[in-house]
Amino acid sequence: MNVRVLVNGHASAVVSALDRGLLYGDGLFETIRYVQKVAPLWSRHMQRLCDGCERLGIPKPDPALLAAEAGQVLDGDADAVVRITLTRGPGQRGYAPPARTDATRIVSAHPLPVIPADWYRDGIRVRSCNLRMASQPRLAGIKHLNRLEQVLARAEWTGPDAIEPDVLEGLLFDQDDYLVSATAANVFGVLDGVLLTPALDGCGVAGVLRAALLDVFPRCGVQAISKEALMRFDEMFLCSSVRGVLPVREMDGRVLQAGRWSRVAQAQWRTLGFPGGDA
């Protein structure tokens, strides 16, 4: 499929050179997977987007309008990824937000990534990133447009000097060496039989699939996880709203096995309405 884009409801891929999303990363985005023209996690995406708007002081969008525009860019494709980007809009030079916000709304449709079945069955290889994430509690959890940390971390194993081409994800840590997430996924792990996931009070994105899994795993520990504790995990899996649940088979040279919790999480992914992810 070709990428189809609407900017403020009009077929276009052009935004103002003065748009604050371009100039300062002043905005938010959501990446939404559609299955048979339905977005199973739509309400969670909209809740996070609205929460982010409230925190940044950007007017909340109309979810019905966004749904209509998502349907328009899908243009008959049943399965695709829709990205919704919302910025504070154009403004004068300088950091001060304009007195009147004229938000820019971008809705685009993209092909689904190809995910080999063995990634779900056997797991993927991950590595720890050298980059350390900065703490900013006011931005923690929301999906704001400033993704430079993820861009730089991702380049660690895919850039021209990369020496680990079969690594598929990188683990991110904060300044105190506590686990935050992967570059494009949340992390769950099992330590001494207990399911854990990092607390995201200082940085990181609180994924919508992570939230859905926490609803069905109420005893999951949401807490600070040191690198030392991470290296004692008995099992680990990554989750994202586009790729679903991917077990980890190797982390920094340490071999792991896809276990019970990974399979239960994959089953929950399918229960939500997504295909695949089978062991």
Q: Each residue of 168-183: pLDDT tens digit?
A: 999 999 999 999 999 9
Is the pLDDT score of 278 beyond 90? no
pLDDT score for 276: 74
In the chain, alpha helices (H): 20-24, 42-56, 63-74, 117-122, 148-158, 208-216, 227-230, 260-271
- Give the pLDDT of residue 3: 84
Q: To 10 degrees, what angle do helices 42-56 and 63-74 make?
A: 120
Question: How many whole angstroms separate alpha carbon 33 and alpha carbon 141?
Answer: 19
DSSP 8-class letter at 25: -
pTM above 0.85, yes or no: yes
- In the numeric block, the tokens 């199973």 are attached to 40
Q: Provide the 3-class DSSP secondary structure of residue 152.
A: helix
Name the burial class of residue 30, with classes exposed (0-12), middle (13-18) and buried (19+) by CB atoms within 10 angstroms of its CB: buried
Average pLDDT, stretch 103-126?
95
Of 185, 184, 205, the C-alpha closest to 142 is 205
CB 169 within 8 A of CB 201: no
- Going by pLDDT thresholds of 50, 70 and 90, the confidence category of residue 164 is low
Asked whether residue 145 carries a pLDDT value surpassing 90, the answer given is yes
User: How high does pLDDT run on average in the chain?
Assistant: 94
DSSP 183: S
Average pLDDT (119-139) is 96
Burial class (CB in 10 A: 0-12, 13-18, 19+), 112: middle
Task: Provide the CATH number for the domain formed by 4-110 in this structure.
Answer: 3.30.470.10
Least reliable range by pLDDT among 218-222, 255-259, 262-266, 275-279: 275-279
For residue 21, report the phi and psi dihedrals to the nearest 5 degrees: -65, -40
Is residue 182 within 8 Å of residue 22, measured between CB atoms? Answer: no
The mean pLDDT value for 7-29 works out to 96
Domain ranges of the chain: 4-110, 117-271
Q: pLDDT value at position 146?
A: 96
The answer on pLDDT for 158 being more than 90 is no
**Which numeric CATH code is attached to 117-271?**
3.20.10.10
Average of per-residue pLDDT across 216-241: 97
Q: Cα(202)–Cα(189) distance, rounded to whole angstroms?
A: 20
Q: Report residue 161's pLDDT band, with 50, 70 and 90 as the boundaries.
A: low
